[in-house]
Amino acid sequence: MKKLNVPSPVASVFTRAIASAGLILGLLTLTVADASDRAVVPGGIYQWKPPEGATQIRFNNRPLMRLEERVLVGVPLRQALGQAELEYQLNGEPRTHTFSVVDKAYTEQHITLQNREMVNPNPEQLARIRGESSRQRQLYLQFSDTQLPNQGFIQPLQGRISSLFGHRRFFNGQARNPHSGLDIAAPTGTPIKAPAAAKVTLVDDLYYNGKTVFLDHGQGLVTMYCHLSDQLVTEGDAVEQGQIIGLVGATGRVTGPHLHWSVSLNGYRVDPQSMMTLLTPTSVEPQ
């Protein structure tokens, strides 16, 4: 420690104060580090290394993605804060693993739409929206054992991030669901690339989402691309990482051309930026 140029009694009190502050800080750091290993925010991805031999690891009774020795758990934006649990089997015995969900102050976004039917749809439009939602929910809940090749998860296009995941949204002053994807603004016609190898599970024109493509990457990782001007794949296609799946547009509920990109893990929409960080090839240790 640097020598303090102050009279000695003061210096000793001062040093003691610094020493105890250091000790407290040390303890705090330890606590925070320990907590962060077992903590996640709503809409985040919780990572856990299960004990050897653990099987049937579930969150809310949903199977989870395994990546090397970890499981990746998608936590919904509406997850209650506090304790959450994973269930699993070890040597034929049911076990649980507890982790904490801590608050994240997602910012607010106020949007004005001229088309009132995009804010308050009529009964016929509502029926269509409900049908589309349930079809999308089924796609999000699909789980196949396909392993992702270790090529990372690339951003589908470069552009200005015009709305972050998790924003609490208000349309014409009315509260709506939080923003469940990442918006990347780009001119109409900009190519959109598959972030990783996948199977195309939906190509359709939806009420809010406009022209949409769904990609299923396996193990409960599903991505959605909305508001396209054109879709360049068909349902059932297998696509490679980097393959162009569609073009940016302004179809559906939009204020301008952009890609709305959703990333879903075990059926819950999670932050696409966290997923890109998690799945960079360098973050995966070699066997």
Q: Which residues bind Zn ion (CB under 5 A)?
A: 181, 183, 260
Could you tell me which of 132, 107, 110, 139 has the C-alpha nearest to residue 43? Answer: 107
| CA 195 – CA 217 distance, rounded (Å) | 9
What tokens were used for 60? Answer: 């809310």
What's the closest the beta carbon of residue 180 comes to Zn ion, in angstroms?
Answer: 8
SS3 192: strand
What's the closest the beta carbon of residue 163 comes to Zn ion, in angstroms?
Answer: 5
- Nearer to Zn ion by Cβ, of 199 and 260: the residue is 260
What's the closest the beta carbon of residue 115 comes to Zn ion, in angstroms?
Answer: 16
- Nearer to Zn ion by Cβ, of 181 and 195: the residue is 181
* Residue with smallest beta-carbon separation from Zn ion: 260
| CA 44 – CA 244 distance, rounded (Å) | 27
- Nearer to Zn ion by Cβ, of 70 and 171: the residue is 171
What's the closest the beta carbon of residue 254 comes to Zn ion, in angstroms?
Answer: 8
What's the closest the beta carbon of residue 211 comes to Zn ion, in angstroms?
Answer: 14
What's the closest the beta carbon of residue 273 comes to Zn ion, in angstroms?
Answer: 14
Residue 62 in contact with residue 267, Cβ under 8 Å?
yes
Altogether, the residues listed in the chain come to a count of: 287
- Nearer to Zn ion by Cβ, of 201 and 212: the residue is 212
- Nearer to Zn ion by Cβ, of 79 and 109: the residue is 109
Sheet holding 39-40, edge to edge: 39-40, 93-101, 82-90, 55-59, 62-63
Based on the number of CB atoms within 10 Å of its own CB, is 92 exposed (0-12), middle (13-18) or buried (19 or more)? exposed
Neighbouring CB atoms inside 10 A of 250's CB total 15
- Nearer to Zn ion by Cβ, of 8 and 174: the residue is 174
Based on the number of CB atoms within 10 Å of its own CB, is 64 exposed (0-12), middle (13-18) or buried (19 or more)? buried
The phi, psi pair for 139, rounded to 5°, reads -65, -40
What's the closest the beta carbon of residue 183 comes to Zn ion, in angstroms?
Answer: 4
Beta bridge partners of 238: 199
Beta 210-218 vs 230-231: how paired, if at all? unpaired
- Nearer to Zn ion by Cβ, of 183 and 216: the residue is 183
